[in-house]
Chain A
Amino acid sequence: MNNLTCGNALSFLRFDLQNHRVKVKLPGRQDSQDPTDGEAQDCYLIIMRGKTKLAEEFMAVYPEETKMANLVSKILGTEEIVCDYGVLLDENLRIIFAFNRLFADYDHEKQEVIFKTPDQVLIEQLNNGFPLQEQSPADDPSDEQLFPLPRRLKRGRPRRLPDQSNLTTLYGIFPDDSSGTAMIKYSAFPAADANTEPSASAD
């Protein structure tokens, strides 16, 4: 039996993820000079679950909606709840993009992550009954539904990146044994940037 190396582990995981391959056009950074930004690239799309304070997350994703904060808190709740995240991994299985599926979803036809308007999010939740409640353990998906990455996740609060770009990271969502590869949310940062821990808190 061969020794497990980084290279063949990646190959093994890629094989395991072959049904998760998608092409995605990620939005480029506003200040990007890279002409490939916005072009469809090969990714792996997996679903992971994480706890979040949804109202806070909404305000981070839709910062122009500060005036609606009171209603948002009523509708989305201020307690932590479990949400499904769509997570995009690059060829090296590094997390390059993630989105809360209450706010966005992957459109196979358009090959894009399509964000709902803030009104769509709020009206959807109003129609579904609100605020959303913490899910019981019985609601947890079975292991088969989850991508077999480590499920032991550190969870923290969304933070704004220091460059005033309005892009946010869900600070602290990363495997226990990693050394700080933060999950980048709603951003198209190159994977290398994901190693940059944000220094400014939006709290």
Chain B
Amino acid sequence: MFEEITNAVVETTASCNLNCRHCGSNCVKNTKANELTAKEWLLVFDQLRGLGLKQLTLSGGETTIKDDFPQLLDGLQEKNIGFALITNGLTMTDNLAKRLKDAGARTLGVSVDGNSAIHNYIRGNNRSWLMALNAIATAKAAGLRVAAITTVSRLNYAILPELAKLLHKVGASGWQVQLVSPIGRAKDNSELAIDEKIFREICLALIKLRNIYQSCLDIRAADCFGYDCTLLRGPGWPGCTAGKQTIGIDACGNVLPCLSLMDERFILGNIRQKTLKEIWRQDNGIMRLFRDDKICQAAGICKNCQKYSWCQGGCKSMALAHFDKFGQAPFCCIRSLFN
């Protein structure tokens, strides 16, 4: 019995108009050869819908600079497929915000990584911070739900309270906080890396901020914070759903259990060679690794944890980035706060 794919995150393009120091996908200005076209993506979305899709997230690169992005929006609107879009905000205008709303965008995720100095440094563009904030204000004015996304690193963890205040004021209604992971370019920028002490401070700050902004800014820690912690993200954490209910597809059609697991070892197949149904329903070693909880044994710092049978070491992408194997969470809010 196969579960439905309820959550798909797709890299519509690897091309980006920024060159961020923490980019896990190593995105650059020029588009990868052989990327899926809007027409191909729309066929993929049809397949995903047939397999139970509930939440589609368009990620990148920067989706809005994809050559045939207008056609992609037209198709999504025509097929009535709701979606979330993640953007750095550089291309946002009133017209684009309205177009996204009309096309069925449910949420716009805008990356904001600090104050002007920090954000612009990380993003390598001295206007990117204001443009990101403007994207939030513009999307909000167009009637879109806007969530900011912050990758927390050594550079910005100390200003989370300042950032929460700012995001609320410019119009964000949600805020996802995720940890920098040593993959892609972040691997080469050790100045970004966090340690256990910093992680604990991040957790404490988020707990406090969730309390302060509970009525106006939905603050959530991402999966990479480890085992379920209602203090950080509210109740109902399902554990890592990569390969179980979640799928990632990269710009060239490679299907992965999660888009954060951009590693050749975990490519399940390519959408140009097989149907998504064939890829999803195959029973091979990679799929079992993600679906059979007995395969990944607890290791290292998680070895004796009583929560492991359910937690499975938290976010597999984080485990892989830090230890090159699954079975332990480099950062765990429960371990950090209560041990």
User: Which A residues are within 8 Å of any B CB, using their own CB?
Assistant: 67-71, 73-75, 119, 122-123, 126-127, 130
Q: Which of B147-174 contact A (CB under 8 A)?
A: 166, 169-171
Nearest 5 CB-CB pairings of A with B: A71-B134, A70-B137, A70-B138, A71-B137, A74-B137
B140 cross-chain contacts in A, Cβ below 8 A: 70
Can you list 8 A-B contacts (CB < 8 A)? A67-B93, A69-B94, A71-B130, A71-B136, A74-B137, A74-B171, A119-B116, A130-B169
B126 cross-chain contacts in A, Cβ below 8 A: 119
A74 cross-chain contacts in B, Cβ below 8 A: 137, 169-171
Q: When the two chains form their complex, are residues A67 and B134 in contact, meaning their CB atoms are under 8 A apart? A: yes
A75 cross-chain contacts in B, Cβ below 8 A: 170
Known: A74-B170, A74-B171. A68 touches B130 (CB 8 A): yes
**B141 at interface (Cβ–Cβ under 8 A)?**
yes
Q: When the two chains form their complex, are residues A123 and B138 in contact, meaning their CB atoms are under 8 A apart? A: no
- B318 vs chain A, min Cβ distance (A): 32
Q: When the two chains form their complex, are residues A71 and B116 in contact, meaning their CB atoms are under 8 A apart? A: no
B130 cross-chain contacts in A, Cβ below 8 A: 68, 71, 119, 122-123
Known: A67-B93, A123-B116. A73 touches B127 (CB 8 A): no
* Chain A residue with the shortest CB-CB distance to B129: A123
B206 cross-chain contacts in A, Cβ below 8 A: none
**B105 at interface (Cβ–Cβ under 8 A)?**
no
**B112 at interface (Cβ–Cβ under 8 A)?**
no
- A132 vs chain B, min Cβ distance (A): 13
Do most interface residues of chain A lie in helix, strand or loop, or is the interface mixed?
Answer: helix
**Of A73, A119, A123, A127, which contacts B137 at CB under 8 A?**
A73
Q: When the two chains form their complex, are residues A70 and B134 in contact, meaning their CB atoms are under 8 A apart? A: yes
* Chain A residue with the shortest CB-CB distance to B117: A123
A67 cross-chain contacts in B, Cβ below 8 A: 93, 134
- A110 vs chain B, min Cβ distance (A): 24
CA–CA, A71 to B112, complex, Å? 14
A73 cross-chain contacts in B, Cβ below 8 A: 137
Q: Which of B1-33 contact A (CB under 8 A)?
A: none
A70 cross-chain contacts in B, Cβ below 8 A: 94, 134, 137-138, 140-141
- A55 vs chain B, min Cβ distance (A): 11
CA–CA, A153 to B140, complex, Å? 37
Q: When the two chains form their complex, are residues A71 and B166 in contact, meaning their CB atoms are under 8 A apart? A: no
B131 cross-chain contacts in A, Cβ below 8 A: 68
CA–CA, A69 to B170, complex, Å? 12
* Chain B residue with the shortest CB-CB distance to A130: B169
* Chain A residue with the shortest CB-CB distance to B138: A70
Q: Which of B85-121 contact A (CB under 8 A)?
A: 93-94, 115-116
- A99 vs chain B, min Cβ distance (A): 22
* Chain B residue with the shortest CB-CB distance to A71: B134
A126 cross-chain contacts in B, Cβ below 8 A: 116, 133, 166
* Chain B residue with the shortest CB-CB distance to A73: B137
* Chain A residue with the shortest CB-CB distance to B170: A74
**Of B93, B115, B170, which contacts A71 at CB under 8 A?**
B170
- B65 vs chain A, min Cβ distance (A): 16
B166 cross-chain contacts in A, Cβ below 8 A: 126
* Chain A residue with the shortest CB-CB distance to B94: A70
A69 cross-chain contacts in B, Cβ below 8 A: 94
A122 cross-chain contacts in B, Cβ below 8 A: 130
- A76 vs chain B, min Cβ distance (A): 12
CA–CA, A126 to B171, complex, Å? 14
* Chain A residue with the shortest CB-CB distance to B162: A127
Known: A119-B127, A123-B116. A71 touches B133 (CB 8 A): yes
CA–CA, A119 to B140, complex, Å? 21
CA–CA, A4 to B22, complex, Å? 73
CA–CA, A130 to B169, complex, Å? 8
CA–CA, A126 to B93, complex, Å? 21
CA–CA, A48 to B115, complex, Å? 33
Residue of B130, B136, B166, B169 ringed by the most chain A CB atoms within 10 A: B130
- A14 vs chain B, min Cβ distance (A): 44
CA–CA, A72 to B79, complex, Å? 36
CA–CA, A74 to B171, complex, Å? 9
B138 cross-chain contacts in A, Cβ below 8 A: 70-71
- A125 vs chain B, min Cβ distance (A): 11
